[in-house]
A and B are shown apart, each in its own frame.
Chain A
Amino acid sequence: MSRPPERTDGGLPAFLPAIVTVAFTAGLAVILLSAAASVNGARERATKNVARMAANLWEIPGAGADAVAQLLGERATIEAVPADGGAPRTRTEPGAYGYRPGALDPSVWIAVASDPDRAPPPRPTTPLALLGILLMIAWTARRRRRPPPPRYPAATLLLAAAFLALVALLAARRAHHELEAISAAHLAHGIRAAEIAVTSGADPTRAARAAGLPWGTTAALADPARLWTMPRAVSEAIAALPPPLRTAPTSTLQAGGATYHIAQTTLPPNTAPPTQSPTAPTPAPTTLHLALLGYEETASPTVPLTAASAGSTLLVAIILSLLPLSARPRALRRTLAAWGFLAPAATLLLVFTFGPLLFSLWISLQEWHLVDPAHPFAGLDNYRNIILDTAWWSSIRNTAVFTLHVPLAMAVALALALLTQGSRRAVRWARLALFLPSITSVVAIAVVWKWLLNDGYGLVNQLLARAGIGPVPWLTSPDTALASLMLISVWMVVGYQMVVFQAGLAAIPRDWYDAARVDGAGPLQRFRHITLPGLRHTLFFVLVTSVIGSFQVFGLVYVMTEGGPLGATDVAVYHIYREAWEFLRFGNAAAMSWVLFAVVFAATWLHFRFLEGRRAHA
C-alpha cells in the first residue's frame, strides 16, 4: 500500500478552528435562548393567570367591566361572543389570552395582552457572550496562520468551558431576577383583584377566588389541608405571621425548602347587605393571605442551562481533540469519518443515557414530587430516608433471595446442554420447546403461570391432588410466593443459558475427551476435569449476566403478585416503580435506583474478585 504525500495546506484542517468557534457560538446561543425561553414561558403563564383573574372578577355580580378595567386598564379587551359561539372556555392568540367567564349574559371574551414593557433576553449576559465569540474568532484567526499545536490545546478548552459556564451562570441569575419580578407582578395583580372584588361586594372567600388559584386564603388557613396546591408548611407559616394592617405588597417566605411570595391585605367588611339577621354585629375586617410559589421555582432554567453548557463544552472538547491531528490530514480524515459513524449512537447515548445518569443523580438529591412544581434541594435526605426504610431493605433482600435461582437455573441448563450435545436434529426441535420461554412475552408467561399455580383450579395443584398432596398456596402465602417466582424464573431462563452452554461445549476440543478416555477417565471425571474447566469463561459470563438481569426483575412481579402477599415478593425494581409512579416520590425513587446500582455493582465486583481472580491464580 503506497501512501500518497500528505497535504498540509487547505482542506478541512484549515477550517477546524473555525468549527470550534461555531460550536462555541452555538452553545452560547442555546444558553441565552433557553434562559429567555424560561422567562417568556413564565410571563405567558402569568398573563394567563391574570386573564383568569379578570374572568373571575367579571363573574362577580356588580363587578363586571369596570372591575376588569380597574385591574388591567388598557391591557384587557372585552368583546362580545357571537351568538353562535359554541367556543371553548379558553382561547389563546399570539400575545393575548382569552377567557370566557361562566354562563353569564352577555357572553364575552376577555383577552389580556402580554406584559409588553419587559425585554425578554437576559441583557447583561449578551455583551459578555459577544466578547467570548470575538475572543474565539481572534483565536481562530491566529490558529489559521500558525501551525497547529502538537498537543491537546487544553488551555483553550479550559477557557471556553469557563466562558460557557460563566455565561450560563449569569444567564441563570438574570433569568432568576426576571422571574422574581414576574412573581411580584403576579402577586400584586392578585391582591388588587381581591381588593376590587371586595369593594364590588364580594365576600372574602369569593374575593380570594377572584384572585385565582393557587393561593392561600383565609378559608384555607382555617383548614390547611384543604388547598393541595399550598403545602401545609406554607399555610402554617402564614398563619404565624403577625396580623398586619396592611403589609408591604410582597415579602418572601421560605417554607419546605422553597421560596414563596406572600402578600397580605386587610379587606374591609364587604358592602353587600348582610344576609343573616339584621341584628348581627358588623363583620370584622378580614385578612387575606396570598402565597405564590414563585416562578423562579417553577420555571427555573437551571437544568436546561446546565445541559446546554455541558453539551457545548463536550462538543468543543471533541473538536479541539482533532486539532493536533491537523498536521496529519489522513489521520484527521480517519478520525472525522469515525466520528461521523459514531455520531448517531453517541448523540443518542449522550441524550438518553449519560445525560439521564447525571440528571438522576441530581433528582436523587432533591425533594421531587411529580405534582409539585417545586423541587427543593434536599441534600442526602432521600438517601437517609431510604436507609431507614425497612420496606426498601426488605425489597432488596427479596431481590437478593430471588437471585439465588440463578445457580439452580445454570445447573439445569448445563445438564440440558450436555443432554443435547452431539445429536443435531433432535437438538433443533428440542431447542424450540426449551428456548421459547426465554424469548416470548413475559406478561403472557406470567398470566399462564398465575393460572397454572391457581390455588383451587390450577393444573399444578390438580396434579398434586391426584397424587394425594394437599393444595399448595403457591402465590398466596408469603412463605412460598417468592420461591414460586424463582421456579418460574428458572423455567424462563434455562433455554437461553442452555444455548450459551452448547456454544461453550462446542468450543472444547474433542481430542481432550478422547485422550481422557484413553487414560481411563470415567464420565464424571471427564466432566470434572475437562468440561467444567473448559466452560469456565462461559459459566462466568452466564453467571454475571444472569445475576445482573435477575436484579432487575419486574414483569413477573408486576403481573403475578404485585409485590404481595404481605410484601413477600416486593423486589427492588417493582418497589422503585411504585415509589415513583404510585406515590410520585421521584426523589426517593431516584435515590433507591442508585442504591440498587451500588448493590448490583458490588455483586458484580465480588464475582470478578473471587471467581475471575481465583482463575488467574489457578
Chain B
Amino acid sequence: MRNRSASFARARAAPARAALLVLACAAMAAPFLWMAATSLMGQLEVFASARILPETPLWSNYPEALTAQPFARYFLNSLVFSVAVVAGQVGTATAAGYAFARIDFPGRDRLFMLFLATMMVPAVIVLIPRFLMIDALGWIDSYQGLISTELVSVWGIFLMRQYFRTVPRELEDAARVDGAGPWRIFRSVALPLARPAVATLALFAFIDAWKNLLWPLLVTRSMEMRVVEVGIAAFHSTYEINWPYQMAAGVVAVLPIALLFLFTQRYFVRGIQLEGIR
C-alpha cells in the first residue's frame, strides 16, 4: 500500500525520468547497434564518410568472417572451458561453503578469513608460477591446462556460505534425527534448498570463464585450442582494417552472452545483491 502511494506521489516526475533513462539506455546501447550496423556494411563502404547505416545489408559478411578463422572451434573451446569451470566451481564452492556455514570445527573462522584474504591478491601474482607449473606438467595448449587452475572460486565459497546461513536449519535437523550423515544431509537437503544461489554462482562462473582473456592467452598456443576471447583478439590483429568482418565476429561473440543474460537476469541481480549487502 505504502509503496503504491509513494510511487503515485512521484508520478509527476515520471516523464522527465523516463526521457533521461531512455537517453542513458541509448548511449549504452549505441556501440552495440553500431557494431551490428557495421557488420552488415561492405569493406570499403565503412570508409565512406557520413555513413551510419548500410546501404544494403551484406549478410555474407557473417559466413565469410566466421570461416576466415575456425570460430566454431573457438566457441567449442570456450564452451568446454566455461562448462568445466562452472562444474568445478559449483562443486568446490557448495561443499566448502556448506562446511563454513553449517559445521562447527576448530579453526573454521581463521581458515575462512585466510580464504577471503586471497581475494585481495591481484591475479597477476600467481600468473607466472601457475604458468610455470602448467608448463612443467606438460599441460600447455591443453584443456586440462586451461581448466585446472580455475576450478575454485573464493567468491563462490563466500556466496554459498552466505546463502547457506540464511536457509533455516530445521529441515537438516530433521534429517539428522532420521540418521542421515553429513554428506546425505548436504546432498539431499541443503543443496536443493540452495538452488537459487547455485544458479547465480553457475552464471557468474560461466560469464567469468567466458570473458577470461589473459589466462587462455598464456596457456594456449595453437589455433585449435584458442577460446573465443583469444580468437577475436587474434582475428582483430589479422584483419586489422577489415572492420565489417571484425564487427560480425564481435556480434557473434556478444550475442550468446546477451541472450543468456536476457533469460537469467534475476539470478545476476540476486548474486550482486547477495555480494553487496552483507
* A contact set with B: CB distance below 8 Å: 1, 321, 325, 331, 334-335, 337-342, 344-346, 348-349, 352-357, 359-360, 363, 416, 419-420, 422-423, 426, 428-437, 439-445, 447-452, 456-457, 459, 462, 465-466, 491, 494-496, 499-500, 502-504, 507, 510, 513-514, 537-538, 541-542, 548, 551-552, 554-555, 558-559, 572-573, 576-577, 580-581, 586, 589-590, 593-594, 596-597, 600-601, 604
Contact = CB atoms under 8 A, between A and B. Distances in A.
Interface in B90-117: 91-93, 95-96, 98-100, 103-108, 111, 115
A576 B124 contact: yes
A465 to B, nearest CB: 8
A346 B91 CA distance: 12
A457 B229 contact: no
Name the residue in A342, A356, A423, A444 with the highest tally of chain B Cβ atoms < 10 Å from its Cβ.
A444
Interface of B: 2-3, 6-7, 10, 14, 17-18, 20-21, 24-25, 28-32, 34-35, 38, 46-47, 49-50, 52, 91-93, 95-96, 98-100, 103-108, 111, 115, 118, 120-130, 132-133, 148-149, 151-152, 154, 157, 173, 177, 181-183, 186, 207, 210-211, 213-214, 217-218, 228-230, 232-233, 236, 243, 246-247, 249-250, 253-254, 257-258, 261-262, 265, 268-269, 272-273, 275-278
Contacts of B20: 419
Contacts of B29: 433, 436
Contact of B98 (A325, A331, A341, A437): A341
Given A341-B96, A431-B265, A596-B122, A451 B38 contact: yes
A605 B123 CA distance: 18
B28 A433 contact: yes
A349 B122 contact: no
B115 A349 contact: yes
Contacts of A600: 120, 122
Contacts of B47: 456-457
Contact of B103 (A341, A344, A538): A341
B105 A554 contact: no
A558 B96 contact: no
Contacts of A342: 95-96, 99-100, 111
Contacts of A419: 17, 20-21, 24
B261 A436 contact: yes
Nearest to B234: A443
A448 B34 contact: yes
Counting from the closest, the 7 A-B pairs by CB-CB distance are: A356-B129, A341-B99, A359-B129, A345-B96, A503-B273, A444-B250, A337-B182
A440 B2 contact: no
A589 B236 CA distance: 27
A443 B230 CA distance: 8
10 contacts: A335-B105, A338-B105, A342-B95, A342-B111, A459-B30, A499-B268, A554-B213, A555-B214, A586-B128, A600-B120
Contact of A596 (B3, B18, B124, B246): B124
Contacts of B100: 342
A325 B107 CA distance: 13
Given A345-B92, A593-B125, A430 B21 contact: yes
A356 B133 contact: yes
Contact of A558 (B108, B213, B246): B213
A352 B229 CA distance: 23
B2 to A, nearest CB: 6
B276 A542 contact: yes
A337 B183 contact: yes
A548 B213 CA distance: 18
Given A345-B96, A538-B276, A444 B232 contact: yes
Nearest to B150: A352
A353 B118 contact: yes
B218 A581 contact: yes
Nearest to A322: B106
Given A345-B157, A439-B261, A596-B122, A334 B105 contact: yes
A542 B276 CA distance: 8
A435 B276 contact: no
Given A440-B257, A451-B246, A593-B124, 5 more contacts: A321-B107, A346-B96, A353-B126, A419-B21, A420-B21
